[in-house]
Structure 1
Amino acid sequence: MAKTFKYAWLSKLSASSSALLFHYFPLRNLGYAAREFAKQGLKPGELAIISKEAVAPYERPALSKAYLFPESPARLPGFHVCVGSGGERLLPEWYNEKGIELILSTEIVKADLAAKSLTSAGGETFSYQILLIATGSTVIRLSDFGVEGADAKNIFYLREVDDADKLYEAIKAKKNGKAVVVGGGYIGLELSAVLRLNNLDVTMVYPEPWCMPRLFTSGIAAFYEGYYAKKGVNIIKGTVAVGFTANSDGEVKEVKLKDGRVLEADIVVVGVGGRPQTALFKGQVEEEKGGIKTDASFKTSVPNVYAVGDVATFPLKLYNELRRVEHVDHSRKSAEQAAKAIKAAEEGKTVEEYDYLPYFYSRSFELSWQFYGDNVGDTVLFGDSSPESSKPKFGSYWIKDGKVVGAFLESGTPEENQAIAKVARVQPPVQDVDQLASEGLSFASKI
């Protein structure tokens, strides 16, 4: 059986299409693009969203936070898109009302861009006029490296709602047990916090000298490591998991570390990074820096094929370079930009160039930080960054070529977060680094 759409959205080694939006990963992208298509006057039957997942697009960040809370955990339909940006929650009924076809539980295994055709694992084919690739990233698994025992039960990776469901059930089954978190990045920090909230004994293991090394300086990391330790999280740095042992039921019971230590574990959660899912398109589109190369409208080298989110390597206007950005904020905004560009092109018009300010954030325990801009150059730490403080509030500026190019703030108000965002966008000059450290947030308020 074959289906034909004007636009198709492909997601996650699965597809999301209706007009043929092939959403290959972060289902959330498809929801934001679908909303923008609807704003632009989409006609019923033009757009299809194809996804391997069984549910309508949702806000993935909830999975490592509220979804796992011990009390009143978040559940669908509560966090369908587009609530992540304060917009309307798009329930499955919304897509039906707009004439957008949700093709769920459908894995796309072949993409023929020349023939404008997609093939599912079940043998169904989808033809399209315009394809939007939003396949995102897939988790890196320890079994990819041949780690002994990495296939034991209760070793979890978090990417989809099904993963979160399995982890939630294990948390309840292993009440007051021991958990080992492998990795010190986003997933490691957020899940270590939520596992502690569930009263598990938590140990976090990572090879780097401090947590979140891609973004945090040693000074920033020192606060979070001290704060987590105060909350009861044991941190082991400078080593990696090299093996696991299991009990007679096949459930993980020990984690072997490279430094020789052995940790007891009832649950293991692995968060060691991801890879952009571009395999379906290898040799068919131009790639760069690990992603699919696009222009500022997210058009690829193949006519009528667009790529957004994690898989797109796009022109970052602010820094005059090509870059690939892995974060929910860019996923949402790039999807909206592509939808605007597609509809504008049909009318012989153009859209404003995508002018993205890199933005990252996280929430855990009572903490909440935001970062804007680029984390390159020298750094200045300001404020109260003592883990022992009852109300810690601190930040950092990154200075390159005499200008502030990046800004980080923990526990900022909405107005203060807006101020540091403006600093990162404007890139004001800095005459005296010591004075900048002394002024701290007040420097941002003057911009």
Structure 2
Amino acid sequence: MSTGTAGTAGDSGDGRPVVIVGASLGGAKAAEALREAGYRGGIVLIGDEHERPYERPPLSKGYLLGKTPREKIYVHPPQWYAEHDVTLRLGTAVVAVDPAAHTVRLADDGRIEYAKLLLTTGSVPRRLPVPGAEQDGVLYLRRVEDSDRIKAALRPGVRVVVIGAGWIGLETAAAARTAGAEVTVLEAAELPLLRVLGREVAQVFADLHRDHGVELRFEVRVEELTGEGGRVTGVRLADGATVPADVVVVGIGIAPDTALAEAAGLTVDNGIKTDEHLRTSDPDVYAAGDVANAYHPLFGRHLRVEHWANALNQPQTAARAMLGEDAAYDRVPYFFTDAEWTPRHPNEPVASRDQLSMEYLGYVEPDGYDRVVFRGDVKANEFIAFWLKDGRVLAGMNMNIWDVTDPIRELIVSKRVVNADRLANPNVPLGEV
């Protein structure tokens, strides 16, 4: 393997590699970005999963529905790593980082020195803290094997209870309905996605799922998962009611996997805190993806975004910064979701009321906006929603309408005051509001 310092794109230096902990989308994209930038030194990509790096969005979308074949979820073909001189160590857990010695320690007590270190350790599902939560039939969705287990459980007539009405919960609920299961979603808040979307748009998602046979129960608290013979049979609520269940899918959020960073003495605050270059409190350690709470120049604050786009794009900035470039991550936050309820013939068109294809750009706190403007046909699920504060667009969400992300992004970045009536009028081009 060629050697080189992480501070140059050449192959001179002390021979220590760039080490990436987390063989995920973010880790794989960082390795790719280093090579594309001309870095010829060693790259070691370490992951505790046995699968080579793959993308997670299909796990609750196409792959879960059986529409996306397994080989399509991987970031690179298997030969890519050898062809690009990337040492891929799978099924290998990193148990400690020593910034002073510039080493990572593995579970087998082996040690690897690094010139620069990138942490793409991602996040872990929050566990349900109630009695009975460890029974068979209680499932979480994070890894590909989790998606396999849920997919195998989704059959016609099966009673599926989803705890949590976030993105994972709602996407899983839609997949379960498409498979013919009976689905109940339990949520502690008043509406699904309330913290993310606010009441006005959250109600749209509630109506959409109810229209397709998903039973939604809001403002409920789970007390216990009942069972028989070690397998879950129901969900008992605080009001004493029990919801029968053959399968329970828990989707109550994720937590950044910061254990290594904390033990190494890095600054951790709702994730690993970084500057706009994705550099942590140690100058030779970087973080990207779900785990990074990065300073965002556009918003003037630290943001931790738990979505695919950050794992896809942040590693490019981290790679360039590790190579000494003045690279800053300033992309507008972006995420998307897809769901489809009704099985149909492949050649039959999908009605907008039977699908949910959505993109969201921007960032807004739950109480950080003073108005939502809708543009289009909300009842037909073909519209754009804009969150405004003092006449400025903070975020935009397009549902079943395409090729509008660029003008939405421009409205957010420009920070200009817009005319709300023109913004709502689909006959007025977005660039002219």
- Would the aligned equivalents of 1:285 and 1:300 in 2 still touch at CA under 8 Å? no
Cα drift, residue 150 of structure 1:
0.4
Q: Could you state the TM-score of these two structures normalised by the residue count of structure 1?
A: 0.85
- Specify whether residues 286 and 234 from structure 1 end up closer, same or farther in structure 2 by C-alpha distance, changes over 3 A only: same
Report the residue type matching 2:84 in the other structure: K
Q: Which of 274, 286, 292 is 1:294 aligned to?
A: 274
CA-to-aligned-CA distance 1:112-159 (integer Å, 9 cap, x gap): 2222222222222222121101111111001xx3x0100010111111
SS in 2 for 1:367: strand
Instruction: Tell me the residue number matched to 2:134.
Output: 151
Report the residue type matching 1:378 in the other structure: D
SS in 1 for 2:194: coil
- Specify whether residues 268 and 404 from structure 1 end up closer, same or farther in structure 2 by C-alpha distance, changes over 3 A only: same
- Specify whether residues 50 and 260 from structure 1 end up closer, same or farther in structure 2 by C-alpha distance, changes over 3 A only: same
Instruction: Tell me the residue number matched to 2:343.
Output: none
How many residue pairs align between the two structures?
A: 405
Cα drift, residue 167 of structure 1:
1.8
Query: What CA distance in whole angstroms lies between the structure 1 residues aligned with 2:191 and 2:422?
Result: 25
- Specify whether residues 429 and 386 from structure 1 end up closer, same or farther in structure 2 by C-alpha distance, changes over 3 A only: closer
Instruction: Tell me the residue number matched to 2:67.
Output: 73
Query: What CA distance in whole angstroms lies between the structure 2 residues aligned with 1:235 and 1:263?
Result: 12
Instruction: Tell me the residue number matched to 1:403.
Output: 392
Identity %: 30
- Would the aligned equivalents of 1:5 and 1:48 in 2 still touch at CA under 8 Å? no
Report the residue type matching 1:295 in the other structure: D
Cα drift, residue 417 of structure 1:
2.8
Instruction: Tell me the residue number matched to 2:261.
Output: 281
Report the residue type matching 1:38 in the other structure: R
Q: Map 1:59-138 to 2 at 5 A.
A: 59-69=55-65, 72-81=66-75, 90-138=76-124
- Would the aligned equivalents of 1:5 and 1:47 in 2 still touch at CA under 8 Å? no
SS in 2 for 1:336: helix
Q: CA RMSD in A?
A: 2.1
Query: What CA distance in whole angstroms lies between the structure 1 residues aligned with 2:69 and 2:204?
Result: 32
Instruction: Tell me the residue number matched to 2:214.
Output: 233
SS in 2 for 1:150: coil
- Specify whether residues 265 and 371 from structure 1 end up closer, same or farther in structure 2 by C-alpha distance, changes over 3 A only: same
SS in 2 for 1:215: helix
Instruction: Tell me the residue number matched to 1:357.
Output: 332
Instruction: Tell me the residue number matched to 1:52.
Output: 48
Cα drift, residue 295 of structure 1:
1.8
Query: What CA distance in whole angstroms lies between the structure 2 residues aligned with 1:209 and 1:443?
Result: 35
SS in 2 for 1:216: helix
Query: What CA distance in whole angstroms lies between the structure 2 residues aligned with 1:20 and 1:211?
Result: 42
Structure 1 residue 378 corresponds to structure 2 residue 366 = no
- Specify whether residues 198 and 95 from structure 1 end up closer, same or farther in structure 2 by C-alpha distance, changes over 3 A only: same
Q: Map 1:2-401 to 2 at 5 A.
A: 19-24=17-22, 27-43=24-40, 46-69=42-65, 72-81=66-75, 90-142=76-128, 145=129, 147-171=130-154, 175-248=156-229, 250-282=230-262, 284-343=264-323, 345=324, 350-365=325-340, 366-375=355-364, 376-384=368-376, 386-387=378-379, 389=380, 392-401=381-390
Query: What CA distance in whole angstroms lies between the structure 1 residues aligned with 2:338 and 2:86?
Result: 34
User: Structure 2: 5+ residue runs without aligned partners?
Assistant: 7-15, 341-354
Cα drift, residue 441 of structure 1:
7.3
Query: What CA distance in whole angstroms lies between the structure 2 residues aligned with 1:234 and 1:426?
Result: 41
Query: What CA distance in whole angstroms lies between the structure 2 residues aligned with 1:241 and 1:324?
Result: 28
Report the residue type matching 1:134 in the other structure: T
SS in 2 for 1:208: coil
Cα drift, residue 214 of structure 1:
2.2
SS in 1 for 2:320: helix
Query: What CA distance in whole angstroms lies between the structure 2 residues aligned with 1:262 and 1:440?
Result: 46
- Specify whether residues 43 and 5 from structure 1 end up closer, same or farther in structure 2 by C-alpha distance, changes over 3 A only: closer
- Would the aligned equivalents of 1:150 and 1:243 in 2 still touch at CA under 8 Å? yes
- Would the aligned equivalents of 2:376 and 2:382 in 1 still touch at CA under 8 Å? yes
User: Structure 1: 5+ residue runs without aligned partners?
Assistant: 8-17, 82-89
- Would the aligned equivalents of 1:5 and 1:127 in 2 still touch at CA under 8 Å? no
Structure 1 residue 421 corresponds to structure 2 residue 409 = yes
- Specify whether residues 162 and 332 from structure 1 end up closer, same or farther in structure 2 by C-alpha distance, changes over 3 A only: same
Query: What CA distance in whole angstroms lies between the structure 1 residues aligned with 2:310 and 2:294?
Result: 11
- Would the aligned equivalents of 2:137 and 2:246 in 1 still touch at CA under 8 Å? yes
